Amino acid sequence: MRLGPGPHAVRSRGLAALVVLAVAWTSPAGAQVRTDPAQAVDTVAVVVPVPGPVPVPDSAVGPQVEDSVSADTIYYNLPAIEGGSPPGFATGVWIWDRAEIMGSGANTLAELVAEVPGLITLLGGDFGTPAAISAFGTGAGGVRILRDGFEVFPLEGGVADLQRVGLGGITRVRFERSGGEMLIELTSHEHAEGRAYSLIEAGTGQLDTNMFRGLYADPTALRGSLALALERVDTRGYGENEGGNRTGVWFRYQLHRSNRAGLAFEYRSMGSETQVVDYAASIRRADWTVRGRMEVVPGLVAEAYTGRSSHDVEDIRAAYDFEGGARSQHGVRIAGSRDGLWARGEYRLFSDDRLPAHRLDGSAGFDSERFGASARIAQASWQGTSVGSYRGGAWVRAMEGVTLFGSWDGGTYAARSGPPLEVVPEPVFPFDWSPLPPGPTVAATERTVLRLGGSASLFGATLAAAALRTDADVHLPLGLELDRGSPTVPGMERRGLEAWGSLPTPWRSLKLEGSYQTWDEDGPYLPKQIYQGAFVFRKTYLETGNFELWWSLGVRGHDPMDVFVATGAPGGGGGLVTVPFYQSWYGRIQARILTVRLFLGWENFTIRRNLQNFPGRVLPLTRSFFGLHWDLWN
């Protein structure tokens, strides 16, 4: 039996309640347009354009037929929870908007953030198999994911399995790379006009790969607003019995009270299937939330939410007999910003003793044209043991084109190893002496990371570098099926250097971007050298901007790397195993005509064999794919 009501029963009651509220609540007239206030601290920052209305048709396209009904100008979004360091290499923050997500060609969150300097993607194989990321050698407890404030808490192990964190309906991704724990904030679709909006992304490619991601959003449905997204990718994989797929759905209904308050119901699920015998055949994660958000006064927004996450496994093998279950989460958030100052406070309460009983987060900062600083502190209770962490950073423009920066992370980071159990088995004596499946255990590590550096810009070129020092008492495995049951290993102090650059070329719209990170000693999930580089071309043509060409040609790679492996996994009986040198060349091209984007991509086009992140889990030899993205306002 489950630890609470099933997700289908909860979803039915929630939908019925929202329909009653929709009839009772009439939204007054008004309009709301929100923009991202974050500004780049230097030219290293990622520039992310905000999608807007359909461009003005170019005369060369031919006569256009206008809609017989003019677009509604009334639409609403929930008040935005703002605050956070601006994007840039100096701050360790990267941001992707809807156009950047489509341009990346990413099907998973792990693929999207792979371009972050010093980041390692950890893949158990092709689509449907476990996926994770690491930076500075972090394992369990090293990644937090917030989706509209609701924490996508790990239900599979010490980190969330990124195969079950979808991009359908996501309009913005903010990635903060820190030495203690990386923070990924996902923002769901926000209405930009009063008209209904649709997005279609479809493609196909080698290895019988098919991709689809679709979104429909109506800002004036049922006296509120409605959004729905579907996504799926499937492949036969490389080699025998390597097929897999991911299928996800997202639904959201919102009620709005002017442009200062609202109530939202949201349901999201993602399931993955794989033929790889090392992993569960089918796993599904589902999350539902109900949130209320209000702008108390201009610049100050408060929110309260409740939600529940479930983990379901379908596999006939005895190892998965007891895995699964559901866990609840409740929280409040408050955020304020004014004149360059911002502050956020968040409190989360969990209902299960194998999750943290509670977590309290506070952050604040300041950003101006010449100077900026930020700080973050967190405290949590794990089975009665209190753990805490902190982070501080600052950046200053010492002179025109020169920025100095630094950050310090430290504290104790805890995580659970292993999945929840739907039913806790009891031993039967004296008839059954078989061992019981181990329940989740809690592991913790003390980590500190120091980062000091600077950047300089001149004649369109930007170069940045930083010295690194990390120290950890122990290294933790991820706690996923990739390394479940592997023991921890002692940590040590390591020193490193990282660099990032963006260089212009004689061709004005073409530039060379790349990063490099090196360490004096390698370690788990931390090879001695990590690098990536790409030629990136982007240009908009015609006075109307109705044609855009965007392509990149690049490489990602790293030295041989130690990884934890699960007990009984190929290549080891649980512990550290070294996987070989990794290098993959890739290409992307996208052409936008009005709102239709045609794309073509090619992974590992040099056909390098034996690419693997875990022993025995060889990644696809190569894959090319093509398709289209299409924005529709109707």
| Gap between the Cα atoms of 378 and 411, Å rounded | 9
Position 20 confidence tier, pLDDT thresholds 50, 70, 90: very low
**Helix%, strand%, coil% for the chain, nearest 5:** 5, 50, 40
pLDDT over 90 (residue 161): yes
72-104: pLDDT as tens digits: 678 899 999 988 899 999 999 999 998 899 888
Look over the chain and give the mean of its residue pLDDT values, rounded to a whole number. 85
What does each C-alpha distance from 203 to 51, 131, 170, 211 come to in angstroms? 21, 22, 19, 5
Question: What percent of the chain stands above pLDDT 70?
Answer: 84
Alpha helices in 236-373 (DSSP H): none
**Looking at residue 550, what is its pLDDT?**
94
Q: Which residue has the higher pLDDT, 430 or 135?
A: 135
Question: What percent of the chain stands above pLDDT 90?
Answer: 65
pLDDT over 50 (residue 31): no
pLDDT over 70 (residue 134): yes
**Is 237 contained in some domain?**
yes
Question: HEC profile for 409-477?
Answer: EEEEEEEEECCCECCCCCCCCCCCCCCCCCCCEEEEEEEEEEEEEEEEEECCEEEEEEEEEEEECEECC
- The pLDDT of 559-570, averaged and rounded, is 84
Residue 298 CB contacts under 8 Å (≥ 6 apart), including other chains: none
Q: Sign of dihedral through CA atoms 349, 353, 356, 357?
A: positive
Q: Which residue has the higher pLDDT, 63 or 562?
A: 562
586-601: pLDDT as tens digits: 999 999 999 999 999 9
Q: Give the DSSP H/E element, type plus range, for residue 174.
A: strand 170-176
**Is 140 contained in some domain?**
yes
Alpha helices in 81-234 (DSSP H): 98-104, 109-112
- The pLDDT of 203-222, averaged and rounded, is 94
Q: Which residue has the higher pLDDT, 369 or 53?
A: 369
- The pLDDT of 224-252, averaged and rounded, is 93
Q: Give the DSSP H/E element, type plus range, for residue 325.
A: strand 325-338
- Name the DSSP letter for residue 163: G
Q: What is the value of pTM for the model shown?
A: 0.86
**Is 51 contained in some domain?**
yes
Q: Please give the single-letter amino acid code of residue 386.
A: S
| DSSP E strand boundaries for 368-399 | 371-382, 385-399
**Is 608 contained in some domain?**
yes
Position 380 confidence tier, pLDDT thresholds 50, 70, 90: very high
**Looking at residue 473, what is its pLDDT?**
93
pLDDT over 70 (residue 9): no
**DSSP result, 47-114:** P-PPP-SPPPPPGGG---PPPSSPPP-----PPP----PPSBTTTTEEEEEHHHHHHHT-SSHHHHGG
Position 19 confidence tier, pLDDT thresholds 50, 70, 90: very low
Q: Which residue has the higher pLDDT, 38 or 388?
A: 388
Q: Tell me, what CATH number does 162's domain have? A: 2.40.170.20
328-372: pLDDT as tens digits: 999 999 999 998 999 999 999 997 756 788 999 999 999 998 999
**Looking at residue 425, what is its pLDDT?**
56
pLDDT over 90 (residue 182): yes
| Gap between the Cα atoms of 385 and 362, Å rounded | 20
pLDDT over 80 (residue 388): yes
**Looking at residue 219, what is its pLDDT?**
93
620-633: pLDDT as tens digits: 999 999 999 998 88
**Is 65 contained in some domain?**
no
pLDDT over 90 (residue 230): yes
**Looking at residue 422, what is its pLDDT?**
72
Q: Which residue has the higher pLDDT, 425 or 7?
A: 425
Q: Which residue has the higher pLDDT, 34 or 145?
A: 145
**Is 286 contained in some domain?**
yes
472-490: pLDDT as tens digits: 999 999 989 998 888 889 9
| DSSP E strand boundaries for 477-595 | 489-490, 493-504, 510-519, 529-541, 547-558, 561-565, 575-579, 582-593
**Is 68 contained in some domain?**
no
| Gap between the Cα atoms of 79 and 32, Å rounded | 9
**Looking at residue 438, what is its pLDDT?**
52
**Is 64 contained in some domain?**
no
509-558: pLDDT as tens digits: 999 999 999 999 999 999 999 999 999 999 999 999 999 999 999 999 99
When divided into structural domains, the chain yields a total of: 1
Q: Give the DSSP H/E element, type plus range, for residue 301.
A: strand 300-314
- Reply yes or no: is the peptide bond before residue 430 cis, omega within 30 of 0: yes
What does each C-alpha distance from 532 to 290, 322, 513 come to in angstroms? 41, 42, 8
Domain around 159: 7-32+42-58+74-633
pLDDT over 50 (residue 6): no
